[in-house]
Structure 1
Amino acid sequence: MMTRSDIKAALAAGHAAAMAVDGGQNADYIPFLASVPSDLLGIAVVTASGETHTMGDAGYGFAIESISKVFTLALVLERIGAEAVREKIGADPTGLPFNSVMALELHNGKPLSPLVNAGAIASASLAPGDSADASWDAILDMQSRFAGRPIQLSATVNKSEQETNFHNRAIAWLLYSAGSCFCDPVKAVDVYTRQCSTLVTAEDLAVMGATLAAGGVNPRTGEQVIKPEHTAPILAEMMMEGLYTASGDWAYTVGLPAKSGVGGGIMAVVPGVMGIAAFSPPLDTAGNSVRGQAAVAAVAKSLGYNLFTNPLQA
Structure 2
Amino acid sequence: MLMEITNEAKTYTKRGKPASYIPELALQSVEQFAACIVDQNGNYFEVGNIEPQFTLQSISKVINFIVACEYHGLQFVLDKVDVEPTGDPFNSIIRLESTAPGKPFNPMINAGAITVASMLPGESVKDRIDYVVDFLNRITDSPHQINEAVYRSEIETTHRNRAIAYYLKANDYLLCDVEEAVETYTRLCSLEVSTKDLAKIGLMLAGNGVHPLTNEKFITPKTAKVTKALMTTCGLYNASGKYAASIGIPMKSGVSGGVLCTVSNGKVEHLEGKLGIGVYSPGIDDIGNSVAGMKFIEKLSQTYDLSIF
Could you state the TM-score of these two structures normalised by the residue count of structure 1? 0.91
1:96-111 paired onto structure 2 within 5 Å: 96-108=88-100, 109-111=102-104
CA distance in structure 2 between the partners assigned to 1:50 and 1:168 by the alignment: 40
Whether the aligned pair in 2 keeps the contact of 1:207 and 1:275 (CA below 8 Å) is yes
Q: CA deviation at 1:298?
A: 1.5
Which runs of structure 1 show a deviation greater than 6 angstroms over 4 or more consecutive aligned residues? none
Q: CA deviation at 1:147?
A: 2.1
Q: CA deviation at 1:152?
A: 1.3
1:215 to 183, 198, 208: 208
Whether the aligned pair in 1 keeps the contact of 2:87 and 2:239 (CA below 8 Å) is no
CA distance in structure 2 between the partners assigned to 1:208 and 1:232 by the alignment: 14
Q: CA deviation at 1:168?
A: 0.8
> Is 2:63 the counterpart of 1:71?
yes
Q: CA deviation at 1:221?
A: 4.2
Deviations along 1:252-293, whole A, 9 cap, x unmatched?
A: 000101000000001111125111121101111110000000
Deviations along 1:158-182, whole A, 9 cap, x unmatched?
A: 1111211111111111110111112
Q: CA deviation at 1:297?
A: 1.5
Q: CA deviation at 1:49?
A: 3.0
Q: CA deviation at 1:74?
A: 0.4
Task: Show the counterpart of 2:49.
Answer: 57
Relative distance call for 1:150 and 1:218 in structure 2 (3 A) is farther
Whether the aligned pair in 2 keeps the contact of 1:41 and 1:56 (CA below 8 Å) is yes
2:128 partner amino acid: S
Kindly report the root-mean-square deviation, in angstroms, between the aligned alpha carbons of the 2 structures.
Answer: 1.4
Whether the aligned pair in 1 keeps the contact of 2:16 and 2:284 (CA below 8 Å) is yes
1:1-314 paired onto structure 2 within 5 Å: 9-10=1-2, 12-21=3-12, 22-108=14-100, 109-272=102-265, 273-308=274-309
Whether the aligned pair in 1 keeps the contact of 2:258 and 2:278 (CA below 8 Å) is yes
CA distance in structure 2 between the partners assigned to 1:53 and 1:301 by the alignment: 18
Q: CA deviation at 1:235?
A: 0.2
Q: CA deviation at 1:145?
A: 2.4
Could you state the TM-score of these two structures normalised by the residue count of structure 2? 0.93
CA distance in structure 1 between the partners assigned to 2:10 and 2:64 by the alignment: 32
CA distance in structure 2 between the partners assigned to 1:292 and 1:176 by the alignment: 36
Relative distance call for 1:148 and 1:218 in structure 2 (3 A) is farther
Gaps of 5+ in 2: 266-273
Secondary structure at the residue paired with 2:83? coil
Secondary structure at the residue paired with 2:157? coil
Q: CA deviation at 1:58?
A: 2.0
Whether the aligned pair in 1 keeps the contact of 2:211 and 2:217 (CA below 8 Å) is yes
How many aligned positions are there?
A: 299
CA distance in structure 2 between the partners assigned to 1:13 and 1:301 by the alignment: 13
Whether the aligned pair in 2 keeps the contact of 1:153 and 1:197 (CA below 8 Å) is yes
Deviations along 1:189-229, whole A, 9 cap, x unmatched?
A: 01000100011111111111111111212344442111222
CA distance in structure 2 between the partners assigned to 1:217 and 1:49 by the alignment: 14
CA distance in structure 2 between the partners assigned to 1:30 and 1:221 by the alignment: 37
Secondary structure at the residue paired with 1:271? strand
Q: In terms of mean alpha carbon deviation, does 20-29 or 90-99 score higher?
A: 20-29
Relative distance call for 1:113 and 1:13 in structure 2 (3 A) is farther
Gaps of 5+ in 1: 1-8, 309-314
Secondary structure at the residue paired with 1:152? coil
Q: Percent identity?
A: 37
Secondary structure at the residue paired with 1:46? strand
Q: CA deviation at 1:118?
A: 0.7
Whether the aligned pair in 2 keeps the contact of 1:210 and 1:275 (CA below 8 Å) is yes
CA distance in structure 2 between the partners assigned to 1:259 and 1:124 by the alignment: 17
CA distance in structure 2 between the partners assigned to 1:266 and 1:69 by the alignment: 12
Whether the aligned pair in 1 keeps the contact of 2:151 and 2:186 (CA below 8 Å) is yes
Relative distance call for 1:13 and 1:103 in structure 2 (3 A) is farther
Secondary structure at the residue paired with 1:18? helix
CA distance in structure 2 between the partners assigned to 1:234 and 1:146 by the alignment: 16
Task: Show the counterpart of 2:270.
Answer: none
Whether the aligned pair in 2 keeps the contact of 1:206 and 1:267 (CA below 8 Å) is yes
Q: In terms of mean alpha carbon deviation, does 262-271 or 82-91 score higher?
A: 82-91
Q: CA deviation at 1:30?
A: 0.7
